[in-house]
Structure 1
Amino acid sequence: MDSAPESEFRERVRLFLVEHCMRRVESRDTPMLDDRTTAMTFQRRLFDAGLAGLTVPSEYGGQGLTRRHQEIFNEEAVDFYLPIGLYTITIGMCIPVLLEHGTDEQRRRHIANMLAGHEIWCQMFSEPNAGSDVASLQMRALRDGDEWIINGQKVWTSSAHYASYGMCVTRTDVNLPKHKGLTMMIVPMDAPGVTVRPLIQATGDHGFNEVFCDDVRVPLDNVVGEINDGWRVALSMLMNERVALGASGNSLVSGRADVLIEAAKALGATTHLVVRQALIDVYIREQVLRFVALRVRAAVESGHAPGAEGSIAKLAGSELVAWLEGDDDARKAVRTFVHAPSFAIAGGTTEVQRNIIGERVLGLPKDPEVDRGVPFKDVLVNR
């Protein structure tokens, strides 16, 4: 039960959503990818209303509120379409990484601007020869005085064409094993030498890009974490990505069981045992995903980096989204059918999530690694 201040906050959230958002049932024809102007305008409204970055410390532009306030916001937002998909990486992944690994200057320079919608960030991890095994990446960063010179290619970079900055993992020492010679850097996307090329999806949308860096110079101060310790920062970001994607899946399917139950009642199908079993299965999966998401969020907001539970949330969310995307109107069916498999790929494939859960939750042995401890320059990769 809400306390009096929590009830007041809930009412404030509800009034904001009613004024500024469409209900999900009214938003069937909204694009899968929000346009930049709409997303930035809405994010700014959230910020001006004191509803952006609810648990982010106030010294960095957030509200400094409790996990319960975020839960209340999420509960009220379930029935509404919030056009902030372009900020999933910015707020769900980059801000947590800056809070955990960034310098105070980096936090003060960027986080408030991110929350206010002024800065969209992208994640620059995957490469043509470094997908699931992202630690085999080859983008090089060489130190030149007080700068780094970056050369290489990234791929499947979401929202790079809109981004002000990219959180980019680079290889800074080829004499170390592949996981140990990496460094995370903030790359301005308008820096000389940065080229962004679109990748058009099967749905016709443009969400992904290739990013080429040709002698791109960034200052030493743009390093996030320690030099050659970028894998630890990358893991933190990957887990936050899985939390964000799991939460995204949760928001897409939350309340869908109730909709399906009402539809079954209207058709007189609730007496059919197979239908009843399917409805029960959807309801249970939806509730499990919700509780896993709450558990992950509680861990993050109590100061703990997300662990394998992020993989559980991502796996559960992607499977449930793929299963339920067919219950929309026929006009949306083709697009959702084509789009649904991406939830099982983005942020780490289903197979990767199962491996993480098996190793870190169930204690199963890791697969043999022939390149463990081998300097990266001696690893046989496609160069």
Structure 2
Amino acid sequence: MNFEDTPQEAAFRAEARAFLSANAQPKTDTAPHQETEAEYILRAKAWQKLKADHGWACLSYPSEYGGRGATSMENIIWGQEEGKFDVPVGPYAIGLGMCGPTMIAYAGEEHLKERIPRMVEGVDIWCQLFSEPGAGSDLANLRTRCERDGDDWIINGQKIWTSGAHFCDWGILVTRSDPTAAKHKGLTFFFLDMKSPGVEIRPIKQISGDSNFNEVYFTDVRIPDHQRLGAVGDGWKVSLTTLMNERLAVGDAGGADAPHLLELAQRIMIDGEPAIKSRAVREKLATWHCEKAGLRNTKYRVMSALSQGKTPGPENSITKVVSASKLQDVSSFAIDLMDMGGVMLGREGQEELDGKLFHGSFLGAPGMRIAGGTDEILRNIIAERVLGLPQDVRVDKGIPFNEVEQGN
């Protein structure tokens, strides 16, 4: 692995850092500014527009659609540098990281010229309508139906866990068009206006108190055939394009990590001494420090491949499956370390910051272990495609979808 930037990459990094330093504030350990979701989205729109105006939005997109035609490595460098600043990027992560690349790969030129620049400039926010109550990890088991009606398709069904659907303008959607085909074969893919008649969005209340994702119901929703992506029945192929980009877009599970726990252990007292003096605490810190180093080197391996013009392999799944479980373990241990104070929120000063960081990470970690591929799915990918182990037995392989036995 090469840990150093090439001269061209170093120059690009310096240029990115100069723009960010001139237009944003570095991240700090102070309590975040409290704002409503609507205020956050407005701030995100303003930041996205500023980036677009200065050529820093959607770097890897073709220049004719508002991007920069940058390399994958330059895109990673930008993400590294932008991550050091307090800027609102969350509302656009799915649209720009997953929906945009899928549109560029499959949409017609008319739609690309109309939709992609609006996405790049932050005018439209997009979501991904994939998971269903009976088709989460096994996406091809989806049951949302589409039926041809002249130049339109009629959509009926339900999606779930759709992040940001309640504030999104457009979405990408995979549906079942032929129930008599094998489950991976009878799918068709679309993009649609989220304000279309018949689309109902119901936010889901999460354990953290937030409502970031939603149930979405489709009742006789009409989508013009010209908004179909890929051939009829070829929706699984289109979905794989989205899923490959999802693996890169999801990345690390952000939140509490070993350095935060180290700082906490220096302040928390156990039996009259700082917790850092406990062998048990130091053992945990050492384990998570090693995991952090392993994740860093795995990412360097991906970066080295991109820098050499290669395509990263499925080993990128390692990053999320390790970081999401580590996030849950670190935050759980920190809450235990704070003893009875660990279950309290809303206190003043440093204790309030501790509570927000570790509680937020602990309550958000289970969702991260599901989003972008569950732990089990990612472990199967690593086992089959990295380690070369045999595939899981699939009893429904090649069987028409309407003949596959469904669980009650």
Please say whether Structure 1 and Structure 2 have the same fold, judged by a TM-score greater than 0.5.
yes
Q: 2:50 aligned with 1:25, yes or no?
A: no
The match for 1:373 is 398
Match of 2:176, as an amino acid?
R
Q: Distance in 1 between matches of 2:307 and 2:145?
A: 34
Partner of 2:292: 286
Deviates more, 1:365-374 or 1:300-309: 300-309
Task: Give the deviation of 1:305 after TM superposition.
Answer: 7.2
Residues in 1 aligned to 2:34 and 2:308: alpha-carbon distance in whole angstroms: 35
The corresponding residue for 2:244 is 239
Q: 1:8 to 1:243 in 2, by over 3 A?
A: closer
Aligned-partner Cα distance in 2 for 1:374–1:113: 42
TM-score, normalized by length of structure 1? 0.86
Q: Which secondary structure state, in structure 1, belongs to the residue aligned with residue 376 of structure 2?
A: helix
2:16 corresponding residue in structure 1: 13
Deviation at 1:358, TM superposition (A): 1.2
State how 1:348-359 maps to structure 2 within 5 Å. Answer: 348-359=373-384
Asked if 2 retains the 8 angstrom alpha-carbon contact of 1:243 and 1:296, the reply is no
One-letter amino acid matched to 1:17: L
Instruction: Write the mapping of 1:330-369 to structure 2, written as runs, cut at 5 A.
Output: 330-369=355-394
- Secondary structure at 2:171 match in 1: strand
| Partner SS state of residue 368, structure 1 | coil
C-alpha spacing 1:40/1:348, structure 2 compared with 1 (3 Å): same
Instruction: Rate the CA distance shift 1:196–1:70 in 2: closer, same or farther, 3 A.
Output: same
Q: Does the 8 A contact of 1:156 with 1:209 survive in 2?
A: yes
AA matched with 1:349 = T
Q: Distance in 2 between matches of 1:7 and 1:210?
A: 44
Give the aligned residue type for 2:182.
Answer: P
- Deviations along 1:113-168, one digit per CA (max 9) or x if unpaired, are 11211111111111122222221111111111211111111111111111111110
Q: Secondary structure at the match of 2:163?
A: coil
Alignment of 1:267-346 (within 5 A): 275-296=281-302, 307-325=313-331, 329-346=354-371
* Structure-to-structure mapping, 1:1-383, within 5 angstroms: 9-18=12-21, 19-28=23-32, 35-247=40-252, 249=253, 252=255, 256-257=257-258, 275-296=281-302, 307-325=313-331, 329-381=354-406
Does the 8 Å contact 2:60/2:69 carry over to 1?
yes
| Structure 2: segments with no counterpart, 5+ residues | 269-273, 335-352
Deviates more, 1:365-374 or 1:29-38: 29-38
CA distance in 1: counterparts of 2:255 and 2:358, whole angstroms: 15
- Structure 1: runs of 5 or more not aligned: none
Over 3 Å counting, the alpha-carbon distance change for 1:32 and 1:231 in structure 2 is farther
Distance 2:262 2:135 in 1: 43
CA RMSD in angstroms, aligned pairs only: 3.1
- Per the alignment, in what secondary structure is the counterpart of residue 157 of structure 1? strand
Query: Residues 189 and 229 of structure 2 are in contact (CA less than 8 Å); yes or no, is this contact kept in structure 1?
Result: yes
Equivalent in the alignment of 2:339: none
- 1:315-337 C-alpha deviation (Å, 9 max, x unpaired): 12312322334656124433332
Partners in 1 of 2:145 and 2:242 — Cα distance? 20
The letter for the 1-side match of 2:174 is V
Distance 1:137 1:2, change over 3 A: closer
Larger Rg: 2
TM-score with structure 2 setting the length: 0.82
**What is the CA distance between 1:271 and its match in structure 2?**
7.2
Report the Cα distance in structure 2 between the residues aligned to 1:137 and 1:217, rounded to whole angstroms.
19
How many Å separate the matches in 1 of 2:306 and 2:11?
25
Once residues 28 and 372 of structure 1 are traced to their aligned partners in structure 2, the CA distance between those partners, rounded to angstroms, is 50
How many Å apart are 1:63 and its aligned residue? Answer: 1.3
Distance between the aligned counterparts of 2:406 and 2:278, measured in 1? 56
Partners of 1:205 and 1:76 lie apart in 2 by 28
Between 1:183-192 and 1:297-306, the stretch displaced more is 297-306
| Cα shift readout 1:77-104 (whole Å, capped 9, x = no counterpart) | 3432331111111111112222333333
Pick closer, same or farther for the CA change 1:365–1:69 going to 2, 3 Å: closer
Give 3-state SS (helix, strand or coil) of 1:25's partner.
coil
Tell me if the contact between 2:183 and 2:401 (Cα under 8 Å) persists in the aligned partners: yes
Distance (Å, rounded) in 2 between the aligned partners of 1:295 and 1:185: 35
- Structure 1 residue 264: deviation in Å? 6.2
